Structure 1
């Protein structure tokens, strides 16, 4: 498609609400996943730290 102006690009030939709504939902899902992974990693690091302090070594060491 060829858009004459920014407003035509945003309207996307009458499908702008669907297109930009989908982009926002997908972007929100990606951000939520990154935040979730961050907190899950922090919890895992804390758990390994607690385990290593409890046993005096890491679980995979002999």
Structure 2
């Protein structure tokens, strides 16, 4: 299971790198900026809605 997940991650990274290289090669910098902005926005939303408080409670062994 872990090996399959690692292979899938490497495949996604290779696809993303190929898309970025293709956009740079064809000088589609404006599209690259839009994709980078959308990606960063999605990442920020994921972090904003993450249950960080719940993760902190479950990972806490003792109260000081």
What TM-score, normalized to structure 1? 0.44
The answer to which structure, 1 or 2, has the higher relative contact order (CA under 8 A, 6+ apart) is 2
Normalising to structure 2: TM-score of the pair?
A: 0.43
Query: Larger radius of gyration, structure 1 or 2?
Result: 1
